[in-house]
């Protein structure tokens, strides 16, 4: 069954915490209401199967009970949605990014607590609604407190079930993250020898023909190796460290390409303090050089710009080379995997809250990374 476009759009981000959701608000209300209806239908099926029973022979009472439970479930679902939306408005974007997707026990406890509060608040709202609709019914008028107490009695069981659920989910997330990082290191290991051997051959040639330029390239190469190895040691780095490594890489290429390559790096101190997975930026710069500038006879420029706004970090790599429509060069080991690798790592770490967009620029191509902003304390 194919869902209508607004509902399908809202469903994709329904289970994530974010300031702005895809799709209209009414679609999210409809989804929450539909989930409550499914829960009510499941309860009815348990009753039909004989697993739940009501000690009465009055059909009218059973009808009121079913209608009342339906309204109660609707009230709980919509109250939970309202509470979650209020949390999304009140919490800073950086905090939301740390909570969704859930990546540690602190986030799991926070999200579970929010849902428990939503259920209890929804029970109060639903009970008030039932008391208004059925003022003469003792069942609905007197059972609100009982339901709250019964729910609290089930809290240890719910905590255990949540603990098992989050443990399995966090273990799966950790394995996926390790696989993505291993893939990155494999990719880097495939690319690096080609770059290393070419650079060493160039240095050897320059030391004989142009000693001063050869020494300059050797120094830049040492700086690049030092900063690259430092990036690979940990699961996280700062944008400042990434920019330093990319700057060394570009200086190295500038010595090799001469006037055919110019570059600029523009990033505020706030952006440089941002935490992010290592080696997200360099593959984008390598692509700009390899596909945009190196095949161009006149070379060109690479411009890197990073900024922070509304709890988001945006990093853009522009070049004025041949552009996306230029013929691709002969494939080498690891070629063609960089963008997919970056997107996979973003999905594992940030879920739908981060993206990489490659687009044609006014001249050449433009790659933009957009991710939640976290910084060093």
Stretch 205-212: mean pLDDT, rounded? 79
Alpha carbons 286 and 20: distance in angstroms, whole number: 33
Residue 265 has pLDDT above 90, yes or no: yes
What was the pLDDT predicted at 125?
86
Coil, helix or strand at residue 168: helix
pLDDT exceeding 70 applies to what percent of the chain? 80
- Which tens digit of pLDDT belongs to each residue from 302-341? 999 999 988 889 999 999 888 776 665 555 544 556 787 7
Range with the largest mean pLDDT of 177-186, 209-218, 263-272, 274-283: 263-272
**What is the band of 127 on the pLDDT scale with cuts at 50, 70, 90?**
confident
At 27-80, the pLDDT tens digits run 889 999 999 999 889 888 887 877 777 666 777 777 888 888 899 889 989 999
In SS3 terms, 302-366 reads as: EEEEEEEECCEEEEEEEECCCCCCCCCCCCCCCCCCHHHHHHHHHHHHHHHHCEEEEEECCCCEE
237 and 231 Cβ atoms separated by less than 8 Å: yes
Average pLDDT over residues 76-105: 81
pLDDT for 79 equals 92
Task: Note whether 202 and 257 are within 8 A (CB).
Answer: no
Q: Which of 78, 75, 82 is nearest to 124 (CA)?
A: 75
**pLDDT, the chain, mean:** 80
Residue-wise pLDDT for 217-247, tens only, equals 888 888 877 777 666 666 788 899 899 888 8
Judged against a pLDDT cut of 80, whether residue 139 lies above it is answered with no
Most confident range, picked from 153-162, 263-272, 343-352 = 263-272
Q: Is the pLDDT of residue 199 over 60?
A: yes
């Amino acid at each position: 069954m194919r869902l209508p476009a607004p509902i399908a759009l809202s469903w994709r981000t329904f289970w994530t915490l974010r300031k702005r959701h895809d799709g209209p608000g009414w679609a999210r209300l409809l989804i929450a209401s539909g989930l409550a209806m499914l829960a009510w239908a499941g309860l009815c099926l348990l009753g039909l199967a004989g697993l739940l029973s009501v000690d009465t022979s009055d059909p009218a009472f059973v009808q009121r009970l079913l209608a009342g439970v339906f309204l109660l479930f609707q009230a709980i679902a919509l109250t939970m949605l309202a509470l979650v939306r209020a949390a999304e408005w009140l919490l800073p974007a950086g905090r939301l990014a740390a909570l969704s997707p859930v990546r540690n026990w602190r986030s799991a406890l926070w999200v579970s607590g929010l849902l428990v509060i939503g259920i209890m608040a929804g029970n109060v709202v639903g009970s008030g609604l039932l008391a208004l609709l059925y003022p003469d019914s003792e069942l609905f008028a007197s059972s609100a407190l009982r339901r709250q107490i019964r729910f609290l009695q089930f809290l240890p069981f719910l905590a255990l079930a949540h603990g098992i659920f989050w443990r399995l989910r966090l273990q799966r997330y950790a394995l996926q993250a390790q696989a993505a990082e291993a893939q990155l290191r494999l990719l880097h290991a495939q690319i690096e020898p080609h770059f290393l051997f070419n650079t060493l051959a160039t240095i050897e040639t320059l030391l004989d023909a142009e000693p001063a330029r050869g020494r300059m390239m050797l120094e830049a190469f040492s700086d690049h190796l030092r900063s690259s190895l430092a990036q690979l040691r940990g699961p996280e780095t700062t944008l400042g460290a990434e920019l330093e490594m990319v700057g060394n890489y570009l200086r190295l290429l500038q010595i090799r390409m001469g006037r055919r390559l110019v570059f600029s790096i523009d990033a505020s101190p706030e952006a440089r303090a941002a935490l992010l997975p290592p080696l997200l930026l360099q593959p984008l710069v390598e692509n700009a050089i390899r596909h945009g500038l190196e095949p161009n006879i006149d070379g060109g420029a690479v411009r890197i710009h990073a900024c922070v706004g509304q709890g988001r970090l945006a990093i853009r790599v522009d070049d004025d080379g041949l552009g996306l429509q230029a013929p691709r060069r002969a494939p080498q080991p690891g070629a063609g995997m960089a963008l997919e690798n970056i997107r996979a790592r973003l999905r594992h770490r940030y879920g739908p809250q981060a993206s990489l967009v490659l687009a044609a620029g006014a001249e050449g191509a433009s790659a933009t990374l957009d991710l939640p902003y976290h910084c060093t304390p």
